[in-house]
Structure formats: structure tokens, C-alpha cells
Chains A and B, each alone.
Chain A
Amino acid sequence: MFSIEVTNLKKNYGNLKAVDDISFKVKQGEVFGLLGPNGAGKTTTIEIMEGLRERDSGDIKILGLDPWKDGYEVHKKIGVIPQEFTFFEKTTPKEAIKYYASLFNVKVDADTILKEVLLDEKENHVFENLSGGQKQKTGLALSLVNSPEVLFLDEPTTGLDPNARRAIWEVIRRLKAKGKTIILTTHYLDEAQQLSDRVAIMDHGHIVAMGTTEEIIEQNGSGERLEIHGEKQLADYIQTNTELQVTYNETKGIITIPLKKKIDMLAALAAAEQSEMKWGEIQTHQDSLEDVFIKLVNEPLDEQKEEQQIEQKKNKKGRQ
């Protein structure tokens, strides 16, 4: 059962392809993270899903409904926190919840919702006097008033201090435990990793990788490698005396050797010992989500690059 189905979605702003043919599905109860740098098209995508923006082409079903055409119906079933949530300056969180409840014509206990989003000390302060984190929590509280099946959180912790971020995360985890389907955009990798079941990495309107974080690292990261702190001569020595592929980073002074097999490590270290040169710290390293993200997002995705990636994948398969 999919709560959300997005198929071949496109949206242009003039000549800019903000969202360029993306497709994905989100299961009921899943937390799906849209990760990407600023300007990648995350917000446009999420706003189209919320029915706040019209798409150019493609098909979207939110709980089986078209968010633009059936916006009024969809909005009764979803909760949204836009980026940098704001509200009426002179209204308290409690009044805001009651206001929303009256608009949706539902009976809710404002105090329960305030507790649910960890916001009860400041309930009598008007919105403009709340801290950034409290404002976001107010937004979360309002998005819960209509007991939504699907929640859209657009960069919920951007600009917040670490404690406030962790508090928001805690609230999101609780909502997940209650079985809500959650779409989350973020440019924080730790946030995506901490909260999401699956992640789609977006760049220039494309989805460049999608899956669990482990899958994305597996598919797009380079394999395990050995790193040795040492001189250029040592790198050259290892290169000439082994069959290993050695690269050297002059500025950091790090020799990097990809490990096709674990035994390669032994060969490299034996060569280093043999050289009688000085060498420092050694460690093995595997790409983190951050490494993969930087690789995917910062490098232009031209054909050559794609070919390289395909080859890398082939190599990996060969090893396994």
C-alpha cells in the first residue's frame, strides 16, 4: 500500500528545470527523506505534493488523490510544516491549535497536542516571542490538529540550535512510531540518516540516488580503502613494488590504496615496512553517506562520469 506515488514529475521556472522527471513511491508508515543541496528542487517537489504548487507534467497521487485538483480534500488528510514556519504574531500556540481545530471542525485537546510536540512551558507566549525551536514545534502541533495520515516536513530543523534539532527529531520519531507516513526534506545528512527509512538524493531537479542509506553508500561509494600518513616517496615505493593502485594527496600527506581484497592491506604494509621510510597513522576507511553525497552532488553528472560509475559497479560485482 503506497501513500504517495510520484511518476515522471516535471516543473520548470522559465528556463530552469526545477524538477526534471522524477518518480518515487512512499509506503504507508514510511519516513522518506528528500536530501539535497539548496536549489536541488526538494521544496518545489514537496510543495507540489502538498498541492501548493501546480506541476507542469507527471502524475501524483497522495492517498489516491490529485493534490492540485483535489486540494481541498487532500488538505484534510495531510499535515504540513513549510520551511521557516510562521504564524500570526500575536497568537499563542494554544490559541493557534484551537483556531485550526475550529477551522477543521474537529475536537482536539490542545494540551495533549502541545505535550506531543514537547511544547507546554511556553503555551501562553504569543508566537512572535517564541524561540525558533518553539515556533517549529508550534508548526508541528498545527500540522497534527486534523490527525493527518501523511505529514510533510520541509526542512523542519533548518536554522535551529542542536538541542532544538534533537527535540524536533524526538517528536518526529514519536510520530513515526504512531504509524504516520512522513516526507521530510533536509540538507542535513545526519537528519536524513537518523530519521529516514529511505532517502532520495536530489540534485539539479534529478534524483541521483535512492534507497536506504546503506544501499546508497553501497551503490555509489567506493569500497574499503587503506590510508597511510606518509611522504610522496613512500607512495611511489609502494606503487613500484606492489601491484596496488596508489594515489597520493599532497596537501594532506595521505597515501590512499583501494582494497580489492583484505589481503591487499598486508601487501601494502609489507611494502611500507620494506621501504624503511617513516610513516604515521594507518587506517581503513569506507565512504560515509556524506562522502557519497558530496561525490554525487558536487561533481557534474556528464556521460563520462556515468560510464565510470557503471564500471565501478561492474568491478564491485566482479569482487563479490
Chain B
Amino acid sequence: MISFRRIYVDFKVFSIGYLRNKFGLFFGLIFPVVLILIFGAIFSGDTGTINVYAQNQDTGAFNQNIGNQFLIALNESSTIKVITVDISENFPDYLATHSSSDGIIIPPNFTENYLLEQPVNITVYGSPASSTSGIVSGTVSGYANYFNLQRFNGSMIISLNSTTVSTNQSSYIDFLIPGLIAFSILTNPMFSLVNIAADYKKNKLFRQLSLTPLTKMEWLIAKVLFYIALSFAGFLLMVGVGVFAFGAHVTLSIWLIPFLILGPLLFASLGMLVGTVAKNPETAGVIGNIVTFPMMFLAGTFFPIDIMPEYLQTIAHALPLFYVTEGLNNVMVYNNIPNALIDIAILGTITLVIFCLAVKLFKWRDD
């Protein structure tokens, strides 16, 4: 029988110990905030290839399709990657479901107007708060000028008509905050429990505890609850700093709660697993780092995985943290709950497997 009184007692002693450990406190709460300040400052300018969704409504004329040519030219620029959207889609809805704010619509009579030297508008979607939107409209406008110059010696045929998708107002800091929340959801329980599992095993502290009525399940639940509490605290702190220091746009929703619970549960279990299977604390530390570091950087924490080469994106999808990062982004930045639910389902499955494995392999006493 699991006793909540014993879980509470163990939780309390562990929390007091944690708060007395200045290093733990620093890496648990202060460090991610420092990262937000540093990365927020570095990337407030922003750059890189931006995914832009484009719908070409142009049907062409005189055996030509200038709309297609325009998109091909844009795609050859180093700043924009054009993703074509089928004509049957409702474009603003499409952007929303794909968690993007950047898009272009080439109007139906584009080729005809262009060749007949009639003024024509390309609609550029973007958000005023997003640094990518400025780059997108700048690039599109540059190519419009180029096309204008090429044919009509500079007279304005193609011009831009900017619009926004109301729900999406993302910038790098908006992306960075969920990333760093995911980062601390990973690192706090992971590093701590790898360490504890290996140390307690070596120092025979688990065996010492096995002589009390506390069970290993109660002990583990107390640790998980602590790291869930810590991730909620970290969440509030980071969102607070992001909003007040950088004017970040964050959507708060109850759908964040599953990530703040499943994340620490997953990584506490994974840490226990690594610490349990390792022969000694040194090996545990090394294995812990091998498991943790790729996730820290490849799972879309500091950089969106869109900017990575395809093979790295494939790797990213195999990392459990990716579903925390993507899920938090879907909720906080894009308010895309259906996609977030998929992330929750995948994350929940991974968590269940790792948790069961950790509980099975983690032993209080020797055979």
C-alpha cells in the first residue's frame, strides 16, 4: 500500500536538502533564466532560412506561369524556403494548423496582369511581432522589384499587400521560452536522479532506506513530485522573465499542464534508469551525458528544428524531449491544441515505457 504520509515526509526532507544546496538551486532555476537573457539578447536580431508557405492561385496565361517562376526564384534565395500549398486549402487556416505565421498568396490573374503591365498584388502573411515576418516581406519585396525591373524598367507592376494571421505573433524569444522550459524539464530531474541513483547505490543509502517502511515506489513518487513542482516554478519564472524583459507573446492554457507533469516524470524515470544500470557513479555520469546532451541541443530547445538538415530532423523526432518542446510550442506559441494532443499522446507513451522499466530495474536491496 502506497502511503501518502510517507511520500509527503520524503518529499519534505528532499526539498529542504535541495534548497540548502546552492548549486542545485542555481542550475534548477537561475541558470535557465540566465540562458533566456543571453539567447534573447543574441537572437533578438534573428536570421536563417525561413519556411514560407505559398499558395499559387495563378492559372497562367499566354502559355506562361509567372507566379511559378516567382516562387522558384524566391526558393533559390538563401533566406526563404517555399512550401507550396494546394489551391483547394483555405490559406489562413492552413497556416494556423501548420503553426506558421509566414505565407504568400499569388493572386489568380498574376501572369495576365504582369504580362499586360497591369498593377498586381502579392499578399504576404506575417506577424508584426515576428522577426521572421520582416525578413519574409523584405525578401519578397526584393524579388518583386527584380521582376519589375526585368520587364518594365522599374515601373511598379507587382506590389505587396501585407496582412497578418491573428493568432500567430511569434518571434525568437517566443520560441526560446518553451525551448528553455523544456530544457529545464530535461536537465533538472535527469542530472539529479542519475546522480542520486548511482550515489545512493554506491553508498548503500537505498539499502539503508529499505530498512524503513518507505517503499521504493513511494521514494520515486516523492522525487517525481518534487521535480514536477520545480518545473512549475521554473515555468512561471521563465515566462515571467520572457514577458517582462523581452515582451514575449505566450499563450497560457491548461494544455501546458500535461507537459509539465509528463516531462519531469519521464526524465526522472530515465535518470533513475541510467543511474541504476550503470556500474558506478562515474559511468552513470558519462551515460547520463550521452543521453542528455543530444536532446539538449537537437530537440528544438535553442534552435527550431526547421533550420536543421533533414537527417538531424529525423534524429530530433526520435528524442523524447522533442515532443515536450514541440508540444509547448504548439500550445504557447501557435495555440495549436490538436497537434499538442498528439505530442501529449506520444510523450505519454514514452513516459509509461521508461517509468515501468525504471521501476522494474531499480532495486532497494541485493539478491
Q: With A90-B16, A91-B17, A126-B20 as given contacts, are A76 and B208 in contact (CB-CB < 8 Å)?
A: no
Say yes or no for B207: interface residue by CB 8 A criterion. Answer: yes
Query: What CA separation (Å) do A91 and B21 show in the bound complex?
Result: 11
A155 to chain B, nearest CB (A): 13
B5 touches A102 (CB 8 A): yes
Chain B residues within an 8 Å CB radius of A52:
207, 210-211, 365-366
A72 touches B213 (CB 8 A): yes
Chain A residues within an 8 Å CB radius of B352:
none
Chain A residues within an 8 Å CB radius of B5:
102, 105
Say yes or no for B9: interface residue by CB 8 A criterion. Answer: yes
Scoring A residues 103 to 142 as 1 if CB is less than 8 Å from chain B, else 0, what string do you get? 1110000000000000000000010000000000000000
Say yes or no for A53: interface residue by CB 8 A criterion. Answer: yes
Scoring B residues 287 to 328 as 1 if CB is less than 8 Å from chain A, else 0, what string do you get? 000000000000000000000000000000000000000000
B212 touches A90 (CB 8 A): no
A70 to chain B, nearest CB (A): 14
Say yes or no for B204: interface residue by CB 8 A criterion. Answer: yes
B208 touches A85 (CB 8 A): yes
Chain A residues within an 8 Å CB radius of B207:
52, 82
Scoring A residues 78 to 92 as 1 if CB is less than 8 Å from chain B, else 0, what string do you get? 101011111111110
Name the CB-closest residue of A to B14.
A88
Chain B residues within an 8 Å CB radius of A47:
366
Say yes or no for A75: interface residue by CB 8 A criterion. Answer: yes
Within 8 A of A (CB), among B3-17: 5-6, 9-10, 13-14, 16-17
Query: What CA separation (Å) do A103 and B208 show in the bound complex?
Result: 13
Q: With A53-B366, A90-B20, A126-B20 as given contacts, are A103 and B203 in contact (CB-CB < 8 Å)?
A: no
Say yes or no for B205: interface residue by CB 8 A criterion. Answer: yes
B205 touches A87 (CB 8 A): yes
B17 touches A103 (CB 8 A): no
Say yes or no for B367: interface residue by CB 8 A criterion. Answer: yes
Give the contacting residue for B203; candidates A50, A86, A91, A95; CB below 8 A. A86
Say yes or no for A100: interface residue by CB 8 A criterion. Answer: yes
A76 to chain B, nearest CB (A): 7
Say yes or no for A54: interface residue by CB 8 A criterion. Answer: yes
B367 touches A50 (CB 8 A): no
Name the CB-closest residue of B to A54.
B367
A239 to chain B, nearest CB (A): 57
Query: What CA separation (Å) do A103 and B5 show in the bound complex?
Result: 8
B21 touches A103 (CB 8 A): no
Chain A residues within an 8 Å CB radius of B225:
none
Say yes or no for A279: interface residue by CB 8 A criterion. Answer: no
A90 touches B213 (CB 8 A): no
Query: Interface residues of A, CB < 8 Å — how many?
Result: 30
Q: With A53-B365, A54-B367, A105-B5 as given contacts, are A75 and B212 in contact (CB-CB < 8 Å)?
A: yes
Name the CB-closest residue of A to B19.
A90
Query: What CA separation (Å) do A83 and B207 show in the bound complex?
Result: 11
A49 to chain B, nearest CB (A): 12
Chain B residues within an 8 Å CB radius of A24:
none
B13 touches A86 (CB 8 A): no
Chain B residues within an 8 Å CB radius of A103:
6, 9-10, 212-214
A293 to chain B, nearest CB (A): 27
In terms of DSSP, what is the predominant structure of the interface of chain B?
A: helix
A101 to chain B, nearest CB (A): 9
Interface centre among B16, B20, B207, B208 (most CB of A within 10 A): B208
Name the CB-closest residue of B to A88.
B17
Query: What CA separation (Å) do A257 and B366 show in the bound complex?
Result: 52
Say yes or no for A2: interface residue by CB 8 A criterion. Answer: no
B212 touches A100 (CB 8 A): yes
B212 touches A104 (CB 8 A): yes
Give the contacting residue for A86; candidates B205, B211, B366; CB below 8 A. B205
Name the CB-closest residue of A to B18.
A90
Within 8 A of B (CB), among A227-282: none
Give the contacting residue for B204; candidates A82, A90, A126; CB below 8 A. A82
Chain B residues within an 8 Å CB radius of A188:
none
B213 touches A75 (CB 8 A): yes
Scoring A residues 50 to 79 as 1 if CB is less than 8 Å from chain B, else 0, what string do you get? 111110000000000000000110011010
Chain B residues within an 8 Å CB radius of A54:
366-367
Query: What CA separation (Å) do A103 and B8 show in the bound complex?
Result: 10
B16 touches A95 (CB 8 A): yes
Query: What CA separation (Å) do A103 and B9 show in the bound complex?
Result: 7
Q: With A54-B367, A75-B211, A75-B212 as given contacts, are A102 and B17 in contact (CB-CB < 8 Å)?
A: no
Chain A residues within an 8 Å CB radius of B211:
50, 52, 75, 78, 80
B265 to chain A, nearest CB (A): 22
Name the CB-closest residue of B to A139.
B208
Query: What CA separation (Å) do A104 and B211 show in the bound complex?
Result: 10
Add 16 more A-B contacts to A99-B13, A103-B6, A103-B212 (CB < 8 A).
A47-B366, A52-B211, A53-B366, A71-B365, A75-B211, A76-B213, A80-B211, A82-B208, A85-B208, A87-B208, A88-B14, A88-B205, A91-B13, A103-B9, A104-B212, A104-B213
List 16 A–B pairs whose Cβ atoms lie within 8 Å, in order of A's numbering.
A52-B211, A52-B365, A53-B366, A54-B367, A72-B213, A75-B212, A78-B211, A82-B207, A86-B204, A86-B205, A90-B20, A91-B16, A99-B13, A100-B212, A102-B5, A103-B9
Interface set of A (CB-CB < 8 Å, partner B): 47, 50-54, 71-72, 75-76, 78, 80, 82-91, 95, 99-100, 102-105, 126
Task: List the 4 shortest-distance A-B pairs measured between CB atoms, nearest first.
Answer: A90-B17, A102-B9, A90-B20, A86-B203
